[in-house]
C-alpha cells in the first residue's frame, strides 16, 4: 500500500468519526417528546404563582446562541512542571495538588484572588485557561470550594472535564488554599454552525409541566454552560445546557439540567460512551 493511500485512509477515518459523533448526538435529541403548547408558555408566570413557586429575579425570554462542541481531555501528567512535581499527582486525567506552602486567598475579593493565582505558573499549570464560576462555587465561613472552568465564546464549561476546584480553609484572620483538583480540555471546536437556544422561560415551562419544580419551591438561579453529553473514544461532545437551582420547601437544593438546543430534561441522563464507531 503506497503512502498516498494511507493518507486518504486516515483522512476518511477522521472524517467518519466526526460525522458519526455528530449524527449520534443529533438523533439522540429526538428520543424524548415533550407535551408543550403555546398557551402553556404564555401563562407560565401565573402558574408558578398559583403553586407558590418563587423566583429570585426576572425570567428571561431572550434566545441566546450556542454550539455543539467537541473537545479532548488533557492528560495532565504532561503538564506537571518542576514546581508542581513534588506536591501533585495525576489519576484518571485529574490532577490533585497539595501545595507545600499554602497560598493565601481573600474571600472578600474572590474573583481578584482567583485570577491572581491562575497567573502563577508555579501554583497551577495552564491557569489562564480558567475563569471564576460563582454559580458552582461553595462559600462557607469555615471551608469553601472556589471553582473555575474553561469557556467557549464566554460560556463556561459546567462539567467535571474542565474544572479547577480550590479548597479554601480558614487560617486565623484570613483564608488559604489547602488543595486543588484540576481537569483541562484541548482542541475545543464547534461541530456545526451556531444555533439559537431555548430561553429561560421556555425551559422553565418544560421543567414545570414535567413536574420537576415542586410546589412552594424557590427557583434560586438559572445559568448556562456547556455540558458533556457523549464520549467517543478520546473525543467528548458538549452541548449548551440550562442549569436550574431549586430549593424545595424542606430546604433541600436540587439542580435540574435542560438541553438548551432541544429543550429536553437531561438531569438524570448518563453520558453514553462509544468505544468503536
Prediction pTM value: 0.84
Range from 54-58, 77-81, 87-91 carrying the lowest mean pLDDT? 77-81
pLDDT at 33: 40
Average of per-residue pLDDT across 3-27 = 54
How many other C-beta atoms can be found within 10 angstroms of the C-beta atom of residue 66? 22
| Spatial contact of 262 and 68, defined as CB atoms under 8 Å apart | no
| Spatial contact of 48 and 208, defined as CB atoms under 8 Å apart | yes
When comparing pLDDT for 5 and 66, which is higher?
66
pLDDT for residue 19 is more than 90: no
pLDDT in tens, 102-132: 789 999 999 999 999 999 988 898 999 999 9
Do the domains 3-68+191-274 and 72-187 sit in the same CATH topology, yes or no?
A: no
The CATH-assigned architecture of domain 3-68+191-274 is: Beta Barrel (2.40)
Q: Is 250 exposed, middle or buried (0-12, 13-18, 19+ CB in 10 A)?
A: exposed
Backbone phi and psi for residue 127, each to the nearest 5 degrees, phi listed first: -65, -30
Q: Is 130 exposed, middle or buried (0-12, 13-18, 19+ CB in 10 A)?
A: buried
The CATH-assigned architecture of domain 72-187 is: 2-Layer Sandwich (3.30)
pLDDT for residue 272 is more than 90: no
pLDDT in tens, 249-259: 999 999 999 99
Separation between Cα atoms, residue 107 and residue 146, nearest integer Å:
10
Could you tell me the residue ranges of all domains in the chain?
3-68+191-274, 72-187
Amino acid at each position: 500500500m503506497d503512502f498516498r493511500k494511507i493518507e486518504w485512509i486516515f483522512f476518511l477515518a477522521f472524517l467518519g468519526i466526526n460525522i458519526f459523533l455528530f449524527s449520534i448526538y443529533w438523533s439522540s435529541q429526538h428520543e424524548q417528546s415533550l407535551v408543550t403548547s403555546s398557551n402553556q408558555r404564555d401563562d407560565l408566570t401565573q402558574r408558578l404563582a398559583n403553586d407558590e413557586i418563587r423566583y429570585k429575579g426576572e425570567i428571561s425570554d431572550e434566545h441566546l446562541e450556542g454550539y455543539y462542541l467537541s473537545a479532548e481531555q488533557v492528560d495532565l501528567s504532561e503538564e506537571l512542571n518542576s514546581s508542581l512535581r513534588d506536591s501533585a499527582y495525576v489519576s484518571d486525567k485529574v490532577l490533585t495538588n497539595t501545595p507545600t506552602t499554602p497560598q493565601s486567598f481573600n474571600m472578600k475579593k474572590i474573583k481578584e484572588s482567583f485570577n491572581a493565582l491562575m497567573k502563577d505558573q508555579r501554583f497551577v499549570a495552564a491557569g489562564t485557561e480558567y475563569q471564576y464560576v460563582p454559580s458552582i462555587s461553595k462559600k462557607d465561613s469555615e471551608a469553601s470550594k472556589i471553582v473555575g472552568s474553561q469557556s467557549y465564546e464566554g460560556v463556561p464549561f459546567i462539567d467535571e472535564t474542565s474544572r479547577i476546584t480550590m479548597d479554601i480553609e480558614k487560617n486565623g484572620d484570613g483564608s488559604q488554599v489547602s488543595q486543588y483538583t484540576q481537569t483541562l480540555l484541548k482542541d475545543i471546536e464547534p461541530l456545526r454552525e451556531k444555533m439559537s437556544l431555548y430561553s429561560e422561560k421556555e425551559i422553565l415551562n418544560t421543567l414545570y409541566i414535567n413536574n420537576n419544580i415542586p410546589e412552594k419551591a424557590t427557583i434560586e438561579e438559572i445559568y448556562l454552560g456547556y455540558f458533556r453529553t457523549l464520549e467517543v473514544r478520546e473525543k467528548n461532545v458538549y452541548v449548551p445546557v440550562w442549569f436550574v437551582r431549586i430549593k424545595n420547601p424542606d430546604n433541600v437544593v436540587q439542580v435540574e439540567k435542560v438541553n438548551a438546543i432541544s429543550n429536553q430534561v437531561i438531569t438524570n441522563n448518563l453520558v453514553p460512551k462509544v468505544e468503536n464507531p
